[in-house]
Amino acid sequence: MNRRATSLNCRGEDQTRVLILGASIAGPSLAYWLRIYGFNVVVVEKSGFIRDGGYPIDLRGSAVDVVKKMGLLPMLRKQHVQSDRVSFVDETGTPVVTIAPEAITGSVENRDLEVPRGELAQMLYALTNGLVEYRFNESIKSLKENRDGVEVLFSSGRSELFDLVIGADGIRSKVRELVFGDEPEFYRPLGFYVAGFKVPNELRLSRQAIIYNTPGRMAALYAVRENPEDLHAFLTFSHPYKLGAEIRDVEFQRSFIAHSFAGAKWILPKLVQAMRQAEDLYFDGVEQICMTGWSKGRVALVGDAAYAPSFLTGQGSSLALVGAYVLASELASSTSFEAGFTAYEQKMRPYVLANQATVEIGKVGIVPTTHEQLEQRNAEMQRQVREGAEDYSRAEHTAIDLDVYEEIALPSK
């Protein structure tokens, strides 16, 4: 049966007006699909621009199907990083095992993608700019739902009424805080912290990653594309306690990271020194967002704001793209926003849970916490190299059926 996009607005002939908070991956993706289905969309972003640059992200399985539907696949193929290998080294820098990147990520060669995050963000913005309204340097102060919609008070002092509000504003979501509360139970700390920054490519690395482990600690250097000028450096380490407000103090971050890698070998002293001086230092706890519900009244969440899986799964961007497509499609094919939000959660939750669960693979594969785990990890990868394993795909990456949405007709003009 053909399902037609349906207006959910109760105010006569006007289109349903939707406010989306966040203009990274989930927000513009959702804006695209909602506009395609005939919704009137405003996207608000607290920064003054679409952030470019950043480390590469993976698009796998069902997410590749979504970007194909958006017409972005040919351009993304051109931006594909195509890393050649990952080498795990000992304290002297000697490789213990060198393996295909797909063995770490679970990606499928010639199907899945690895692209710079900023390139994808810019493509999504270019695709939607002009179709939807973007407002930069803006944020929200309060949300108040009434029988006509959601009254939104912006930081600029402006107040507007929207039919629906969607939080696509990341793991530290302001929308989630205002509507659902900044509840500790939403955060699932995984027992690790991660730092990222750039360093000069003095090792002359090209299309590869080098990883050094000691129990509970990982240092990685990642060369994106051919002979880059800079490398992405990552320092990840286990820590049993959740930090408080001090986590936002940059000087505390630098000292905390340095202390955590005290005595580490390989080139760690040099990396720690570079970290202390880095102007682009990123630091945060490694967490997942786990909620029993992603909507409340006329407000819903999508992407990391609702179900961040953590970088240890490599599925954050894929969940954001798929989630945006499912949410828009369910709203378009439902007779009420309540029904649309319910269907979105029912469709997405098994897929989200399956992908969040792959964090255990990432924890053992990237940051083993014991000598035994480290030895087992290395032995398993050496076995894969000896036996020539070729299929590294993970069923979780395609564990959702999107074909049902092909029958949603576009609104007549």
Contact 179, 185 (CB under 8 A): no
**223 occurs within a structural domain:** no
Determine the 3-state secondary structure of 222 from DSSP.
strand
DSSP conformation letters of 6-21: ----SSTTSPPEEEEE
| Rg of the chain on CA atoms, in Å | 22
Across 5-14, 230-239, 375-384, least confident range: 5-14
Ranges assigned E (strand) in 102-207: 113-116, 133-136, 140-146, 149-154, 159-162, 164-167, 187-200
Residue 221 forms part of a structural domain: no
Please give the average per-residue pLDDT across 174-189, as a whole number.
93
* Domain assignment of residue 273, yes or no: no
Q: What's the number of CA atoms in the CB half-sphere (13 Å) around residue 170?
A: 6
Q: What is the pLDDT of residues 68-79, one digit of tens each?
A: 999 999 999 999
- The domain that contains 133 carries what CATH number? 3.50.50.60
Q: Which amino acid is at 217?
A: R
**E strand spans, 274-347:** 282-289, 295-296, 299-301
Question: Is there a contact between 278 and 235 (Cβ–Cβ < 8 Å)?
Answer: no
Residue 12 has pLDDT above 70, yes or no: no
Helix, strand, coil tally for the chain in percent (to 5): 35, 25, 35
Burial class (CB in 10 A: 0-12, 13-18, 19+), 337: buried
Asked if the structure places residue 195 within a domain, the reply is no
Domain span including residue 328: 3-81+115-186+289-363+393-409
Task: Measure the CA–CA gap between 78 and 306, rounded to whole angstroms.
Answer: 31
Cα three-residue angle 121-129-24, rounded to 5 degrees? 25
Q: What's the pLDDT band for 8 if we cut at 50, 70, 90?
A: low
- CA-based end-to-end distance of the chain: 21
206 by Cβ neighbours in 10 Å (0-12 / 13-18 / 19+) ranks as middle
Six-digit token string for 340: 């649309």
> For 334-389, what is each residue's pLDDT tens digit?
999 999 999 999 999 999 999 999 999 999 999 999 999 999 999 999 998 998 87
Residues in the chain: 413
Number of compact structural domains in the chain: 1
Residue 308, domain member (yes or no): yes
224 occurs within a structural domain: no
Determine, yes or no, domain membership for 293. Answer: yes
**Sequence-ordered list of residues with C-beta below 8 angstroms from that of 190, at least 6 positions apart, any chain:** 285, 286, 287, 288, 310, 312, 359, 363
294 near 159, Cβ under 8 Å? no
Please give the pLDDT value at position 4.
39
Token readout for 11 is 């105010």
pLDDT one-digit tens code per residue, 112-156: 999 999 999 999 999 999 999 999 999 999 999 999 999 999 999
Q: Which of 340, 406, 326 is nearest to 33 (CA)?
A: 326
Beta bridge partners of 58: 114
- What pLDDT sits at residue 13? 38
Asked if residue 106 belongs to a domain, the reply is: no
Residue 52 pLDDT: 78
